[in-house]
């Protein structure tokens, strides 16, 4: 692993022409479904187009390796000057230069619990980063009696000749209750245009904690909404509900590892892991219940039904879209750049199980087409972000992880 600035990245740069979609369904004509494998369940979708969207025509693009030598990177956050912040699961955060050189680990971060699905997870810039230099990050915090998803912020400081560091570090949010487990931390951080911070959490996977996704006295299995200083917005939906935690925005979620704001709106979209089938795309609205673990389009890993084996119940929201078999979704990004005009408005989602990047075309909230990119690389895609240059940047969840750039072929869009 490279541990200092100035190491040349050119040796790691590859230029790959990618003009095909994923192997399954890549040859399908437009109008045929992209997914052709048998589903795990026999559940019928609630409405046409809720699953197995038509295959989109294959996109034309180039892939470059910006940086190699990352150890299980979890998130990438582009900076305005062409650099990137990247988190590594073991507890390191690095600055990556535009030419791919890795900084020493950022100093001043708190300890993490890296076991299982824990570690140092998401990172996001303050909406006023240019003025205040603040960054926000989520992590599995070791606590007495177990651990839990925690969000901290600090000021990123760079001094010539020294490792970058964070100062004035302060925890602004802790998921409760603490639990002694190692799965389903959620952990995506998304700032809305109004300056509010959305935080996603999982229900910690185990049957013992799953019911808490439906309980307002627990943060588990929820989306939270807070102010940047950690205080609770006065217009949150459960602020005046007795016994409810006031930070809760939406409930009934399994393990949300992807979240993004749709351009031109204040609307949050999320993607969450299902069990065997039932990965879901949702648009969490204030106070709404998204059903886990009462309704699901998946099965338990044992093959048994989830709960009573139902997919709908009054008072619970349907997913906008679901996958069966699963893609194991992670980071997501709405595209609104100029580099790929044909992709404007499309939603990109990292896929870890099938090792690809999913592109969805939406008409309103209806998914009308799907394409799978990067399937030829065979890498688990952990996060995807749009850079200031209009290119897409992804990190691969591998021991020898990479930061990749997706850009147009010359003369193409």
Could you report the per-residue pLDDT of 364-389, keeping only the tens digit for each?
999 999 999 999 999 999 999 999 99
Q: For residue 26, is pLDDT > 50? A: no
Distance CA 378, CA 273 (A): 20
DSSP sequence for 203-239 = --SSTTTGGGGG-TT--TTEEEEE-TTSPPPTT-TTT
Could you report the per-residue pLDDT of 34-48, keeping only the tens digit for each?
999 999 999 999 999
29: in domain: no
The 10 Å Cβ neighbour count of residue 202 is 27
Q: For residue 20, is pLDDT > 80? A: no
The 10 Å Cβ neighbour count of residue 262 is 16
Predicted local distance difference test score (pLDDT) of residue 18: 41
% of the chain with per-residue pLDDT over 70: 92
Distance CA 17, CA 55 (A): 20
341: in domain: yes
Predicted local distance difference test score (pLDDT) of residue 397: 97
Structure confidence at residue 3 as a pLDDT band (50, 70, 90):
very low
Q: Please give the biggest Cα pair distance in the chain.
A: 61
Distance CA 330, CA 196 (A): 22
* Residue partners of 368: CB distance under 8 A and separation at least 6: 49, 53, 54, 361, 362
Predicted local distance difference test score (pLDDT) of residue 24: 35
Predicted local distance difference test score (pLDDT) of residue 412: 58
13: in domain: no
Predicted local distance difference test score (pLDDT) of residue 410: 87
412: in domain: no
Predicted local distance difference test score (pLDDT) of residue 138: 98
Tell me how far apart the terminal alpha carbons of the chain are, to the nearest angstrom.
35
Helices (H) and strands (E) in the chain, counts: 1, 24
Distance CA 176, CA 186 (A): 13
Q: For residue 246, is pLDDT > 80? A: yes
Number of domains in the chain: 1
123: in domain: yes
Between 17 and 272, where is the model more confident?
Answer: 272
Cα radius of gyration rounded to whole Å, the chain:
20
Reference 216, options 185, 193, 248; nearest CA is: 248
Could you report the per-residue pLDDT of 300-335, keeping only the tens digit for each?
999 999 999 999 999 999 999 999 999 999 999 999
Q: For residue 16, is pLDDT > 50? A: no
Q: For residue 399, is pLDDT > 80? A: yes
Provide the residue range defining the domain that includes 316. 34-407
Query: Can you tell me the mean pLDDT for 334-352?
Result: 98
Could you report the per-residue pLDDT of 114-124, keeping only the tens digit for each?
999 999 999 99
- Residue 197 near residue 178 (C-beta atoms within 8 A): no
Token readout for 285 is 């609205």
Structure confidence at residue 25 as a pLDDT band (50, 70, 90):
very low
93: in domain: yes
| E-only strand ranges, 8-60 | 15-18
The 10 Å Cβ neighbour count of residue 298 is 27
Is 184 among the catalytic positions?
A: yes
Distance CA 137, CA 380 (A): 22
What is the pLDDT of the chain when averaged over all its residues?
93
362: in domain: yes
**Long-range pairs, 202-210, Cβ under 8 A, ≥24:** 202/149, 202/253, 202/254, 202/255, 202/256, 202/257, 203/253, 203/254, 203/255, 203/292, 203/293, 204/179, 205/181, 205/255, 206/181, 209/179, 209/181, 210/292, 210/293
344: in domain: yes
User: CATH number for the domain including 72?
Assistant: 2.120.10.30
Could you report the per-residue pLDDT of 109-166, keeping only the tens digit for each?
999 999 999 999 999 999 999 999 999 999 999 999 999 999 999 999 999 999 999 9
Q: What is the DSSP letter of 319?
A: P
Taking the C-alpha atoms of 311, 312, 316 and 320 in order, what is their torsion angle to the nearest 10 degrees?
70
- Residue 112 near residue 122 (C-beta atoms within 8 A): no
Q: In what order do the strands lie in the sheet with 146-157?
A: 120-125, 134-143, 146-157, 165-174
């Amino acid at each position: 692993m490279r541990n200092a600035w100035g190491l040349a990245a050119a040796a790691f740069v590859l230029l790959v022409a990618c003009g095909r979609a994923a192997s399954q369904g890549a040859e399908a004509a437009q109008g045929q479904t992209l997914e052709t494998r048998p589903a795990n369940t026999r559940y019928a979708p609630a409405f046409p187009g809720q699953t197995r969207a038509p295959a989109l025509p294959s996109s034309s693009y180039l892939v470059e390796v910006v940086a190699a030598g990352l150890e299980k990177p979890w998130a990438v956050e582009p900076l305005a000057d062409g650099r990137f912040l990247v988190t590594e699961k073991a507890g390191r955060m690095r600055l990556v230069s535009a030419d791919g050189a890795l900084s020493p680990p950022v100093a001043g971060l708190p300890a993490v619990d890296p076991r299982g699905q824990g570690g140092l997870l998401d990172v996001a810039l303050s909406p006023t980063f240019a003025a205040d230099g603040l960054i926000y990050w989520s992590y599995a915090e070791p606590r007495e009696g177990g651990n839990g998803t925690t969000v901290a912020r600090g000021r990123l400081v760079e001094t010539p000749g020294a490792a970058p560091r964070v100062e004035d570090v302060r925890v602004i949010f802790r998921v409760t209750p603490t639990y002694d487990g190692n799965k389903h931390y959620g952990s995506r951080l998304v700032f809305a245009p109004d300056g509010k911070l959305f935080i996603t959490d999982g229900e910690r996977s185990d049957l013992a904690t799953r019911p808490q996704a439906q309980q307002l006295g627990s943060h588990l299995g929820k989306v939270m909404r807070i102010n940047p200083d950690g205080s609770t917005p006065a217009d949150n939906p459960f602020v005046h509900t007795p016994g409810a935690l006031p930070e809760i925005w939406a409930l009934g979620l399994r393990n949300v590892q992807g979240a993004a704001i749709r351009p031109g709106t204040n609307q949050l979209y999320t993607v969450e892991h299902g069990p065997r089938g039932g990965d879901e795309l949702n648009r969490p609205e204030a106070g709404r219940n998204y059903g886990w673990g009462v309704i699901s389009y998946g099965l338990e890993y044992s093959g048994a039904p989830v709960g009573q084996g139902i997919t709908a119940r009054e008072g619970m929201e349907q997913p906008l879209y679901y996958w069966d078999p699963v893609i194991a979704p992670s980071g997501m990004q709405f595209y609104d750049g100029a580099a790929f005009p044909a992709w404007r408005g499309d939603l990109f989602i990292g896929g870890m199980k099938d090792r690809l990047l999913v592109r969805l075309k939406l008409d309103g909230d209806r998914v009308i087409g799907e394409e799978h990119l990067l399937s030829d690389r065979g890498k688990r895609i952990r996060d995807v972000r749009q850079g200031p240059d209009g290119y897409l940047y992804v990190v691969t969840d591998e021991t020898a992880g990479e930061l990749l750039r997706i850009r147009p072929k010359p003369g193409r869009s």
